[in-house]
């Protein structure tokens, strides 16, 4: 079958993750160009650009544009690429604003182009199994979902206190930047039923200037050793001495990590940053038909996992992120299993979801069903609408928000 061609705009961690699919499956996908102002060459391609505008202005021969740049840089290239006739693999979020999100999806539908958002969890075997169980009807209808996203203390400090998503004005609210993965799962699991009511609470509990230890410095490398060695959030401890976050950087040598904490925002004290996003947040939702969903995000956990309890009219599903405990109230066994195409092992992150997402995009484009392209594209908007409503509710002290559209 025809090999598809892709352009990558943004050669950071997410761009590299999707581009690796072409290396693993050269018969299916080819990266024909990369645009990045700093490190385009870290992704193998025959042509490079410093500026994405120069890239798209040339109209390279390709089927797909992968947009993996910072959140605020998604909107303009998305519209330009769609109008030029490209399909989009667009890293979440579509845009930090509701108006721009709606504009991108409307443009894609008008241009009859496919937009797949980087909600990689729905492309993993674990979450696809839950979807298959719900769709089978063997356990009845969903009554309620209780879901917790334990973000991991190191992950929250990296991305949402020191890093790219720490300040909602510069990037996106954490509910959109982080939790849109989870809200996308709820939309997917309850397919055909839209969320109509949202209420949310959340704040910064710890990462405030007033909680800074007495005598501490605003840069970890300047902090007195007696204080830094006792600090859970020490940048030296997180980036130089341990490996949990190194995969996010193209160069993760010890020398590069030491330079990182000396010269960039990743070396800032977590109590002395410009963060404004909550370190914990709860969202309550009601979907059409009466199903309710509760989502809890917390950055104060030792594990980076998601746990889920789904109550249905004839059974229940309990999951810890790796294993599912499935019960039918009548005692009979449950036959529905993981979809075959998600069980195939691959080396990508997010439980294989990174590669499975690209594979699904290729499948849809090869099949070229206009209805599937439109429905997949339109569904991408729903989780974003919940995110925007949740943030409005949180900022208004938990006011209930109704969603229309």
Q: What is the pLDDT of residue 373?
A: 97
Q: What is the pLDDT of residue 200?
A: 98
**Adjacent-strand bridge partners of 29:** 4
* Secondary structure percentages of the chain, helix, strand, coil, to 5: 40, 20, 40
Q: What is the pLDDT of residue 344?
A: 67
* Cα(10)–Cα(33) distance, integer angstroms: 11
The helix or strand, by DSSP H or E, that contains position 222, with its residue range, turns out to be none
Say what the pTM is. Answer: 0.92
Q: What is the pLDDT of residue 92?
A: 94
Whether residue 222 has pLDDT greater than 80:
yes
Count CA within 13 A, CB hemisphere, residue 150: 12
Mean pLDDT of 266-287: 96
* Cα(309)–Cα(329) distance, integer angstroms: 15
Whether residue 345 has pLDDT greater than 80:
no
Mean pLDDT of 34-47: 95
Band of pLDDT at residue 247, cut at 50, 70 and 90: confident
Nearest to 117 by CA among 388, 319, 367, 353: 353
Band of pLDDT at residue 347, cut at 50, 70 and 90: confident
DSSP assignment letter at 138: T
Whether residue 46 has pLDDT greater than 70:
yes
pLDDT in tens, 384-401: 999 999 999 999 999 999
Q: Provide the 3-class DSSP secondary structure of residue 115.
A: strand
* The pair of three-digit structure tokens given for residue 218, joined into one six-digit string: 């605003």
Nearest to 75 by CA among 105, 55, 48, 54: 105
Per-chain mean pLDDT for the chain? 94
- What are the distances in angstroms from CA 356 to CA 20, 69, 328? 12, 21, 30
Whether residue 156 has pLDDT greater than 80:
yes
Q: What is the pLDDT of residue 340?
A: 67
pLDDT in tens, 319-338: 999 899 999 999 998 877 77
Dihedral sign (CA 390, 392, 395, 398): negative
Band of pLDDT at residue 183, cut at 50, 70 and 90: very high
Whether residue 141 has pLDDT greater than 70:
yes
* The pair of three-digit structure tokens given for residue 356, joined into one six-digit string: 């499975």
Q: In the chain, what are the domains?
A: 4-113 (3.40.50.720), 121-207+275-337+375-402 (3.30.360.10), 209-267 (no CATH)
Percent of the chain with pLDDT over 90: 88
pLDDT in tens, 203-221: 999 999 999 999 999 999 9
Q: What is the pLDDT of residue 334?
A: 87
What does the H/E/C string look like for 328-360?
Answer: ECCCCCCCCCCCHHHHCCCCCCCCCHHHHHHHH
């Amino acid at each position: 079958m025809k090999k598809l061609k892709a352009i990558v705009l943004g050669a950071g961690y997410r761009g590299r993750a999707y581009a690796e699919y072409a290396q693993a499956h050269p018969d299916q996908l080819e990266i024909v160009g990369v645009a990045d102002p700093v490190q385009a060459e870290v992704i193998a391609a025959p042509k490079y650009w410093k500026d994405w505008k120069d890239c798209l202005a040339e109209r390279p021969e390709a089927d797909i544009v992968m947009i993996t740049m910072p959140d605020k840089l998604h909107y303009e290239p998305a519209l330009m690429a769609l109008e030029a006739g490209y399909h989009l693999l667009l890293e979440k979020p579509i845009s930090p604003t509701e108006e721009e999100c709606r504009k991108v999806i409307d443009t894609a539908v008008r241009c009859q182009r496919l937009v797949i958002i980087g909600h990689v969890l729905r492309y993993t075997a674990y979450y696809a199994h839950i979807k298959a169980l719900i769709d089978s009807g063997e356990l009845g209808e969903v009554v309620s979902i209780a879901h917790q996203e334990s973000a991991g203390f190191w992950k929250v400090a990296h991305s949402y206190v020191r890093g790219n998503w720490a300040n909602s004005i510069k990037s996106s609210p954490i509910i959109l930047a982080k939790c849109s993965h989870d809200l996308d799962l709820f939309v997917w699991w309850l397919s055909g039923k839209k969320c109509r009511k949202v209420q949310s609470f959340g704040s910064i509990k710890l990462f405030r200037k007033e909680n800074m230890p007495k005598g501490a410095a605003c840069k970890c490398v300047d902090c007195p050793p007696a204080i830094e060695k006792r600090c859970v959030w020490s940048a030296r401890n997180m980036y130089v001495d341990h490996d949990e976050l190194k995969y996010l950087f193209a160069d993760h040598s010890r020398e590069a990590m030491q330079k990182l904490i000396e010269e960039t925002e990743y070396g800032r004290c977590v109590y002395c940053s410009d963060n404004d996003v909550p370190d914990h947040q709860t969202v309550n939702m009601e979907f059409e038909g009466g199903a309710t969903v509760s989502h809890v995000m917390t950055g104060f956990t030792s594990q980076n996992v998601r746990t889920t309890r789904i109550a249905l009219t004839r059974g229940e599903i309990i999951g810890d992120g790796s294993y599912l405990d499935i019960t039918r109230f009548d005692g009979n066994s449950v036959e529905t299993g993981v979809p075959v195409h998600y069980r195939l092992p691959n080396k990508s992150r997010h439980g294989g979801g990174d590669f499975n997402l690209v594979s699904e995009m290729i499948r849809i484009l090869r099949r070229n069903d206009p209805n599937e392209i439109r429905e997949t594209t339109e569904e991408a908007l729903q989780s974003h609408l919940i995110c925007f409503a949740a943030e409005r509710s949180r900022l208004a002290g938990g006011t209930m928000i109704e969603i229309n559209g």
